Amino acid sequence: MKLLHTADWHIGRTLNGYSLLDEQENAFEQILDIAKEEHVDGIVIAGDIYDRAIPSTSAVTALDRMLKSINLDNHIPIYAISGNHDGAKRLNFGNEWMEESNFYLNTLLEESFKPIETEDAQIFMLPFFDPMDARVYYQKQGMDEDQVKSIRGIGEAMGLVISDMIKSFDPNKKHLLITHFTVAPSSEEEVELTSETTSKVGGLATLTINTFKDFDYVMLGHIHTRFASPSENIRYPGSPVKFNVKEAKIRTHGKGVDIVQISDSQITHTFKEISPKTDLQVIEEPWDTLTDPKFYKAQPIDKDWFAITVKDFDRSKHINVRAKLQEIYGTVVELDYENLKREQAQNTKQANLSELSPDTIVDQFFKTITGKDLSDEQKQLVDSIFVDLGKED
């Protein structure tokens, strides 16, 4: 059995106001070509299919065309789940009739316990969920109220879910899992959250590989680089498109998909690279260098997008910097100044708020005002609020 593993399409994403839809369409066409060339038995989309819970009309139209092309035009099965960016209930609409064409889509926790059965494997599809979803589900299953209340973090919730999945294991088949979470090698190690939120709130908190030790292979989504994969059999394929400057700076992180080959004796993966239609170039140079023809004529001007940081720029100069740079380079999606960054760093004693999780920011603010740390009950309340807010993003 051979599967193509992809994730984090984020259809409808923008980069500082610039639509990435053309880039996403181009990446999709390459993914479909790879699937056909490899003669895969299915395409796995491990969450964050859309970028927002309520996607734009153009995003819905684009994804509809992509899924039809895979499933109806080319008759390739789809195994997809929702991620934390997706609107689970909206995405779930119509999934019952989809299965008639081998389009499997799980967006709700209760759907994850029945595996998709193939000749070689059982495929369990676990969408993103938060501890509250687990509480509601297990309460409906008749769990004792005290046990339900003990499900506070994603660790406890995931432990229960996995233990119930194991009950359905067929010992004569491989056991595969598709899910959408941050997974680290161990609790002491942090996962690089390239292009994704650093939040540790609710279901976004880090799990470890030990949680999934009973599965033969785990196909993850959520982290946008394959180099964050915590082990050889628990892997992220990375997003198919660069979504921000941070990703663009890491030149070794080529975008692509994994081809997963399942046999009786082993499961292997091979990375297949995707070439960007419009690449994102990051340049950090002094103004004189940026405006020197010898320098900028060596750049892919009017072809790629540019994120430019001007070093040591004298802001007292009366010049429209963006207009001048766009005249030279074409599309400048981000403009910054190194000396301004340095001033901001010198004027603040606290960590950059963008690098802190929302619950940490609230905790710090509370302590600044009251002189006390949040209580456990208050932390749980804050956690629940941000989980709910995350569903609206």
Euclidean distance between CA atoms 80 and 3, whole angstroms: 12
Inform me whether the pLDDT recorded for 124 exceeds 80: yes
Bigger pLDDT: 264 vs 387:
264
Q: Is 261 within 8 Å of 269 (Cβ atoms)?
A: yes
Confidence of residue 318 (pLDDT cuts 50, 70, 90): low
Q: Both tokens of residue 133?
A: 């979803």
Q: Is 156 within 8 Å of 131 (Cβ atoms)?
A: yes
Euclidean distance between CA atoms 174 and 252, whole angstroms: 32
Question: What is the Rg, in whole angstroms, of the alpha carbon atoms belonging to the chain?
Answer: 23
Inform me whether the pLDDT recorded for 193 exceeds 60: no
DSSP 95: H
Listed ranges 24-33, 81-90, 247-256; the one with the highest mean pLDDT: 24-33
Bigger pLDDT: 90 vs 48:
48
- Which pLDDT value is given to residue 240? 94
**Residues 344-369 pLDDT 10s:** 445 544 445 545 566 677 777 777 66
Q: Both tokens of residue 266?
A: 């082993």
- Which pLDDT value is given to residue 254? 82
**Residues 207-231 pLDDT 10s:** 899 999 999 999 999 999 899 999 9
Q: Is 81 within 8 Å of 179 (Cβ atoms)?
A: yes
Q: Is 7 within 8 Å of 222 (Cβ atoms)?
A: yes
Q: Is residue 93 classed exposed, middle or buried when 0-12, 13-18 and 19+ CB atoms within 10 A define those classes? A: exposed
DSSP letters, 138-160, are: HHHTT--HHHHHT--SHHHHHHH
Q: Is 160 within 8 Å of 134 (Cβ atoms)?
A: yes
- Which pLDDT value is given to residue 148? 86
Confidence of residue 377 (pLDDT cuts 50, 70, 90): confident
In the chain, where are the structural domains located? 2-273, 280-346, 353-392
Bigger pLDDT: 392 vs 95:
95
What are the angstrom distances between the C-alpha of 82 and each of 29, 108, 183, 354? 21, 8, 17, 25
Beta pairing class for 267-273 and 256-262: antiparallel
Inform me whether the pLDDT recorded for 255 exceeds 50: yes
Bigger pLDDT: 392 vs 86:
86
Confidence of residue 197 (pLDDT cuts 50, 70, 90): very low
Listed ranges 18-27, 317-326, 359-368; the one with the highest mean pLDDT: 18-27
Bigger pLDDT: 177 vs 387:
177
- Which pLDDT value is given to residue 51? 87
Amino acid at 79: Y
Confidence of residue 92 (pLDDT cuts 50, 70, 90): low
**Superfamily (CATH) of domain 2-273:** Metallo-dependent phosphatases (3.60.21.10)
- Which pLDDT value is given to residue 160? 94
Inform me whether the pLDDT recorded for 249 exceeds 70: yes
Mean residue pLDDT of the chain comes to 84
Inform me whether the pLDDT recorded for 200 exceeds 60: no
Bigger pLDDT: 382 vs 112:
112
Model-level pTM? 0.80
- Which pLDDT value is given to residue 198? 41
What are the angstrom distances between the C-alpha of 246 and each of 192, 243, 253? 11, 8, 11
Q: For the packed helices 131-140 and 154-166, what is the interaxial angle rounded to 10 degrees? A: 50
> What's the mean pLDDT in 11-18?
89
Euclidean distance between CA atoms 216 and 234, whole angstroms: 9
Amino acid at 144: D
> What's the mean pLDDT in 382-389?
70
What are the angstrom distances between the C-alpha of 147 and each of 144, 194, 339, 380, 383? 5, 36, 55, 17, 19
Listed ranges 13-27, 28-42, 119-133; the one with the highest mean pLDDT: 28-42
> What's the mean pLDDT in 386-393?
58
- Which pLDDT value is given to residue 199? 39
Inform me whether the pLDDT recorded for 96 exceeds 70: no
